[in-house]
């Protein structure tokens, strides 16, 4: 393959302390044919000035500015402006190695998925998710095997650590859904896999995802409606892919069950926690929806932290005063949930 142009999309919102290191890491690539679209999403710190300063001295950087509309809108702006044959995404508070793009291009496919390294800033702990071998697939069944393996290895949740063929994105009008503030990036990946014709796993880890203290989702109370909506929509999309690609993988089936249950329990916690101050009628209406749509999943799940196992006991009662009271009591330990996100 010749050297195709890659468009690297970086959404930015108040990333002043981290943005220079991020931009420097992308500019240090040992692969030369790329552009960087940096979208300032209405930052109120000095991020916009940093972007403009880099763009003034580096012709490969395209500086874009817009009123604050969220990360999905910023990424969509980048997709609208991109010229590359392939699209890569980098978050403004993360970093990549100098081989990030060249390793992703080592195999040709519509979608290339590499490994990812996670750094937890508060503790200094790191963990890596990746693959032992580089391989590609072009038939449905082989694509299904690679995709299920990538999902189990937790490498599909976001758009980073991947290359997407832009032709597929434009042909099927794929965009990030601005209605979601959680899971929208994973839904984008699932939609892309549905339309792509080939997929590859790359046996390299070049993306460093940094969990920033007090900035990551694990330190925020997540919106219960969006959590449950994402859990259900992702499950439906994945079931469609299982049928489309002929995926027959019991481990993957168990993974999907446990993940959907985990997200539903997270949404219940977010609903019942003291910060929400939701009225009893709203709490119980949501639980009625859980009983109708998610009950089999939340009851069958076994690999759960203690707080979720206690919630499962409460849900089994199906008694409004007992269930509601127990969930209210459990939700008061607000730090407990953060350890399990």
CA distances from 332 to 84, 281, 336 (A): 49, 19, 9
* CATH (domain of 16): 3.90.550.10
Beta bridge partners of 165: 86
Distance CA 232, CA 110 (A): 26
For residue 125, the model assigns a pLDDT of 86
| Cβ count within 10 A of residue 276 | 16
In terms of Cβ atoms closer than 10 Å to its own Cβ (0-12, 13-18, 19+), residue 12 is buried
For residue 275, the model assigns a pLDDT of 65
Same domain, yes or no: 205 and 228: no
Same domain, yes or no: 56 and 188: yes
Does residue 109 belong to any structural domain of this protein?
yes
What count of residues does the chain have? 341
Distance CA 230, CA 208 (A): 25
Tokens of 228: 């449950």
Same domain, yes or no: 230 and 209: no
Beta bridge partners of 61: 36
Question: Among 166, 197, 219, where does a domain finish?
Answer: 219
Same domain, yes or no: 41 and 185: yes
Residue 165 CA neighbour count, 13 Å, CB half: 18
Q: Looking at the 3D structure of the chain, how many domains does it have?
A: 2
Does residue 40 belong to any structural domain of this protein?
yes
Distance CA 69, CA 59 (A): 26
Same domain, yes or no: 89 and 126: yes
pTM, two decimals, is 0.92
Distance CA 319, CA 307 (A): 19
Question: Among 162, 197, 219, where does a domain finish?
Answer: 219
Same domain, yes or no: 240 and 283: yes
* Domain, as residue range, for 269: 224-338
Same domain, yes or no: 190 and 233: no
Write out the chain's pLDDT in tens, 341 residues: 578 999 999 999 999 999 999 999 999 999 999 999 999 999 999 999 999 999 999 999 999 999 999 999 999 999 999 999 999 999 999 999 999 999 999 999 999 999 999 988 777 788 999 999 999 999 999 999 999 999 999 999 999 999 999 999 999 999 999 988 889 999 999 999 999 999 999 999 999 999 876 543 344 567 899 999 999 999 999 999 999 999 999 999 999 999 999 999 999 999 998 666 789 999 999 999 999 999 999 999 999 999 999 999 999 999 999 999 999 998 875 444 444 43
In terms of Cβ atoms closer than 10 Å to its own Cβ (0-12, 13-18, 19+), residue 2 is exposed
Does residue 1 belong to any structural domain of this protein?
no
| Cβ count within 10 A of residue 302 | 11
Same domain, yes or no: 117 and 130: yes
For residue 220, the model assigns a pLDDT of 52
Tokens of 304: 């759960």
Does residue 302 belong to any structural domain of this protein?
yes
Same domain, yes or no: 228 and 181: no
Tokens of 106: 């080592």
Same domain, yes or no: 228 and 212: no
Question: Among 180, 199, 219, where does a domain finish?
Answer: 219
């Amino acid at each position: 393959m010749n050297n195709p142009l890659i468009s690297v999309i970086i959404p930015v919102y108040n990333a002043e302390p981290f943005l220079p290191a991020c931009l420097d890491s992308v500019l240090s690539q040992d692969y030369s044919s790329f552009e960087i679209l940096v979208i300032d999403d209405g930052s109120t710190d000095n991020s916009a000035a940093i972007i403009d300063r880099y763009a003034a001295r580096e012709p490969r950087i395209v500086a874009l500015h817009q009123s604050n509309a969220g990360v999905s809108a910023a990424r969509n702006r980048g997709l609208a402006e991109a010229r590359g044959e392939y699209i890569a995404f980098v978050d403004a508070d993360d970093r990549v190695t100098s081989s990030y793009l060249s390793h992703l291009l080592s195999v040709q496919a519509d979608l290339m998925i590499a490994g990812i390294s996670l750094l937890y800033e508060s503790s200094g702990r790191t963990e890596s998710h990746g693959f032992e071998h580089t391989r590609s697939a072009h038939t449905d069944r082989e694509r299904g095997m690679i995709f299920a393996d990538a999902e189990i290895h937790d490498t599909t949740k976001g758009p980073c650590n991947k290359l997407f063929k832009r032709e597929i994105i434009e042909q099927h009008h794929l965009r990030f859904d601005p209605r979601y503030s959680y899971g929208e990036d994973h839904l984008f990946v699932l939609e892309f896999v549905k339309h792509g014709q080939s997929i590859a796993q790359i046996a390299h880890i070049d993306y460093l995802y940094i969990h920033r203290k007090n900035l990551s989702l694990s330190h925020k109370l997540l919106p219960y409606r969006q959590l449950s909506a994402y859990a259900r929509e992702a499950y439906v999309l994945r079931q469609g892919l299982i049928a489309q690609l002929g995926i027959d993988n019991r481990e993957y089936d168990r993974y999907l069950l446990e993940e959907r249950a985990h997200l539903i329990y997270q949404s219940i916690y977010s609903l019942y926690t003291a910060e929400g101050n939701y009225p009893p009628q709203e709490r119980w209406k949501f639980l009625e929806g859980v009983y109708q749509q998610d009950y089999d999943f939340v009851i069958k799940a076994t690999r759960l932290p203690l707080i979720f196992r206690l919630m499962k006991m409460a849900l089994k009662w199906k008694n409004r005063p007992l269930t509601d009271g127990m969930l209210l009591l459990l939700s008061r330990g607000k730090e407990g949930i953060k350890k399990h996100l």
